[in-house]
Amino acid sequence: MAYTSPFNFTFCKFFGCWCIFALTYLFFLAGVPAVLDWTDNGFSLCFGVNHLGPFLLTNLLLERLKSCPPSRIVNITSNVHKYQKLDFADLNYNIVPLFTYFRSKLANVYFTQELARQMERHGVTACAVHPGYVGGDWTSQFSILFRIVMYVITALFFISCEAAAQTVIYCAISDDVLQHNGGYFSDCKPCKLRPYVQDAGIAKKLWEASEAMVGLNSSAREHLASRTR
Ligand SMILES: NC(=O)c1ccc[n+]([C@@H]2O[C@H](COP(=O)([O-])OP(=O)(O)OC[C@H]3O[C@@H](n4cnc5c(N)ncnc54)[C@H](OP(=O)(O)O)[C@@H]3O)[C@@H](O)[C@H]2O)c1
């Protein structure tokens, strides 16, 4: 569920908390590739769909996840996260298509870390996963020339969807993951992050900025908690 319209927000708010009685796994697989566009709410499409959507839905389901331990959240990021840094003066950065995508994937990693920190005493484990490079529908949004080039690259270098699913499945079921709450995984193992990507201060700052962007203030949280009890 991506945060692209007021309808989605309303859907999450009302049905997400009331109709789901047991919630053990939350996977965030949906994502948009490097395209310059805006959501209906005026967010950069990459940041809105790839980060704010999962952020909001997770928060709306947080009480339910806490009440169903042990539960896991798996966020699909990408190893391209390391090629950009977040600009807090312009989180909706929407200028160079690749960079908007890279930043949204970096946001996935920070979000996972802060989520794990906040949930560690509640039996909720969060992981960020780089699935590997896979050919797929995402090329359909680009020109025919780009698609032909990607077809060749995919055939030569990319992995199958089945192979890409392995780390996601590993993070969902392996007990090893419990020792790396908030970690970043690739090839079914935890991987080291660049120092600035491990900065807990930035992760917290992004959390707070994202709360403000989607309108999650303390009274909204209390309301959600009371609805979930
Ligand atoms: N492919 C790669 O090489 C690669 C590498 C690293 C990380 N990733 C990450 O893996 C995830 C999946 O990528 P993919 O390659 O499988 O992409 P994909 O084939 O284009 O699939 C994207 C999925 O996201 C859904 N989606 C797109 N926009 C949405 C929106 N606004 N609201 C709700 N759902 C939306 C699509 O739904 P519809 O089918 O209904 O449009 C589709 O199911 C993404 O997070 C991506 O960043 C991919």
Listed by start position, the domains of the chain span 6-228
Give yes or no for a cis peptide into 190 (omega within 30° of 0).
no
Number of H helices, E strands in the chain: 9, 5
Please name which of 106, 128, 136 lies closest in space to residue 46, comparing C-alpha atoms: 106
* Ligand 1 center to 31 CA (angstroms): 4
Q: Give the closest residue (by CA) to ligand 1 atom 17.
A: 138
Mutation choice for ligand 1 from 12, 41, 75, 78, CB with most ligand atoms inside 8 A:
78
Query: What pLDDT is recorded for position 181?
Result: 97
> How many angstroms separate the CA atoms of 172 and 175, rounded?
9
Contact 210, 51 (CB under 8 A): yes
82-119, pLDDT tens digit by residue?
Answer: 999 999 999 999 999 999 999 999 999 999 999 999 99
**Domain 6-228, second-level architecture:** 3-Layer(aba) Sandwich (3.40)
pLDDT confidence bin for 139, thresholds 50/70/90: confident
Mutation choice for ligand 1 from 137, 154, 157, 166, CB with most ligand atoms inside 8 A:
137
Find the mean pLDDT for residues 25-48.
Answer: 94
Query: What pLDDT is recorded for position 21?
Result: 64
- pLDDT of 9 over the 70 cut: no
Please name which of 57, 59, 38 lies closest in space to residue 48, comparing C-alpha atoms: 38
Ligand 1 atom with the shortest distance to the CA of 80? 6
One-letter identity of residue 140: S
User: Of the ranges 23-32, 145-154, 188-197, which one carries the lowest mean pLDDT score?
Assistant: 145-154
Query: What pLDDT is recorded for position 154?
Result: 84
